[in-house]
Structure 1
Amino acid sequence: MEETAAFEALFPCGRTVRDSFDGLRIALCTEGAMRIEVDGIGHELERGQLLCLTPSRRIRVESHTAELRLRMLSFSFDFLAGQPFLLRASVSEAMEQSPCIAPDRQAWRSLSELFDFLRMQLARDGFPSRREVVEALLFVLVAETSHLYADRPLRRRGARCEQIADGFFALLHRNFRQQHSPKFYAAELCITEKYLIRAISRATEHTPGYWIANFRLREANVLLRSTDLSVTEIAELLGFGSPSLFARFFRRMTGSAPLSVRRTGRKGE
């Protein structure tokens, strides 16, 4: 359980930090207030509000009050991949557009109680089922948080590069399993491949190829950890020409073999 000091260590006031953590950070503001920039856009976080940070964001804490108190949890997408519930693309996009939101009183109480119960369970060193209980509580926390974002309207961004990024990610969510070339996405958006690469790199600081590989890797983790599909079936589903090509891709991206990830996931069940 990370608190205010840990947040300040991650994101020192007045410095822009690229958050390299590959997962989700959820923070509750219980006292005080903070002004924070996320990807250059300013947001106000106040008492009784929720902060959600998705991966690869540029974070800059502009200022905060002396009495600022945060309660924060960080957990990786490897954890999410092992759960039957996953963040939907629309929820992730809503979190990116509105990292700070104000839950109603009932939702805030529910989130606060989950944080309290998680703290209590994490302190039970001798409890044999501690891991299972903590994972179940984290699952509920993700579900509660996602529900708060599920119905938030998405605003369309104005800059041309960001409009192209919106279109690219909408296509990617539908096609990443079988379409792995930036050329396909450029053609669908009626632009050149070179322009697509430049626009996505400017909007996200990563190339289209990075995002295509990232989506395939996350899906592979989900399928390995939460289904009984064979490596051959997963390779075919994700558009790899053979299981060996999939295994080489997976090892290059993670440093581990697909079957070792599956065995690790099964041990945690």
Structure 2
Amino acid sequence: MKHIPIHKLKDKTKAGMEIGCTYEKGTAEHVKQLGVHRDDHYVFFLIEKGSGSLTVDFSEVNISGPALYYILPGQVHHVLAAENINGWFIAADTMLVPAHYREVFENRIAVQQPYALSDEQHQQLLITAKLLHQHFNSDTEQPFYVQLLHSLLNSFIGLTAAGYCKGSEAAETATRPYQITQQFKKLLKQNFVKYKSPSWYAGQLMISESYLNEALKKTSGSSVTYWINNEVLLEARRLLYFSELNVKEIAHAVGYEDHTYFSRIFKINVGKTPLAFRKNYRK
């Protein structure tokens, strides 16, 4: 494929969301056949039982139920295995995910991990998912169909966010370094193609570059420069592995006019040239 496919929710539904479960005939097989792609929306998984695995931005994620997992808009992913899984998937337009919930989902510097559910949490989410599924498939002409649909979706997403808030990072959310890390990551995802200078991000956050470095090292163990390079090289690796763009096109896509300079940067950080990386990982 020339470019990595982007699945757009508006091409599938006008409701801003969709929901499916493995109990529906052909659903599990359909998910496997999606192949490598990005989504322009959130995808939430509620695994009741069984286990499976998928790759998300070059990291393999293994999930065993009962558990929650989610994929952010733009992350490259595909299912590796989904044997004997019972569960649900919910796709949601970003505009339907409130900002305070998005902060919970997007504040992790590394790839997010599955969240194991207690029996009580599992039952709450399962009841909500079933209600949402039932309403999604009901008469769309009934009074307040969309409003009720979005209210149920908001409940499911809220329960999911609450679960992740109980994880190991929850105690850090009130600290200043943690807040700076969240703000930096959001800025970085939106601007890494155009801006690669640590001082630019520090200026946008209205703090000194040294304080930004200090905050990131405290919460993630790595510097501003590391995370800028990481974001650039992650996108470059995605394009090298999953698309047919040449090195010059990929260099431009990640913000480098000089593709030879990009290749040098890539080799220094990844340990091999872009073409060697592509050849090695496509064996």
- Compute the TM-score of the two structures, normalised by the length of structure 2: 0.54
1:185 alignment counterpart: 201
User: Shift in Å at residue 207 of structure 1?
Assistant: 4.8
- Over residues 138-195 of structure 1, what are the superposed CA-to-partner deviations in whole Å (9 max), with x where a residue is unaligned? 11111111111124235xxxxxxxxxxxx88643658999xx965412775579x999
2:101 alignment counterpart: 87
Native 8 Å contact 2:32 2:80 kept in 1: no
The amino acid of 1:113's aligned partner reads: I
From 136, 141, 144, the equivalent of 1:129 is: 144
User: Shift in Å at residue 38 of structure 1?
Assistant: 1.7
Residues in 2 aligned to 1:109 and 1:63: alpha-carbon distance in whole angstroms:
25
Are positions 1:12 and 2:33 aligned together?
Answer: yes
The amino acid of 1:110's aligned partner reads: Q
The amino acid of 1:93's aligned partner reads: N
The amino acid of 1:148's aligned partner reads: G
Residues in 2 aligned to 1:106 and 1:95: alpha-carbon distance in whole angstroms:
29
User: Shift in Å at residue 61 of structure 1?
Assistant: 2.4
Residues in 2 aligned to 1:93 and 1:25: alpha-carbon distance in whole angstroms:
16
The amino acid of 2:56's aligned partner reads: V
Native 8 Å contact 2:109 2:185 kept in 1: no
- Over residues 77-96 of structure 1, what are the superposed CA-to-partner deviations in whole Å (9 max), with x where a residue is unaligned? 1223xx5x632434323496
2:221 alignment counterpart: none
1:171 alignment counterpart: 184
Native 8 Å contact 1:53 1:99 kept in 2: no
Within-5 A mapping of 1:87-166: 87-94=101-108, 97-125=111-139, 126-154=141-169
Native 8 Å contact 2:47 2:88 kept in 1: yes
2:91 alignment counterpart: 74
- Over residues 85-119 of structure 1, what are the superposed CA-to-partner deviations in whole Å (9 max), with x where a residue is unaligned? 63243432349633421111111101000011112
Residues in 2 aligned to 1:147 and 1:182: alpha-carbon distance in whole angstroms:
34
Q: What stretches of structure 1 of length at least 5 have no aligned partner? A: 155-166, 209-269
| SS of alignment partner, residue 107 of structure 1 | helix
Native 8 Å contact 1:95 1:149 kept in 2: no
1:40 alignment counterpart: 58
Residues in 2 aligned to 1:49 and 1:175: alpha-carbon distance in whole angstroms:
29
2:232 alignment counterpart: 201
Residues in 2 aligned to 1:186 and 1:111: alpha-carbon distance in whole angstroms:
39
Q: 1:123 to 1:95 in 2, by over 3 A?
A: farther
The amino acid of 2:68's aligned partner reads: L
Native 8 Å contact 2:189 2:231 kept in 1: no
- Compute the TM-score of the two structures, normalised by the length of structure 1: 0.56
Aligned length: 188
| SS of alignment partner, residue 153 of structure 1 | coil
User: Shift in Å at residue 2 of structure 1?
Assistant: 2.1
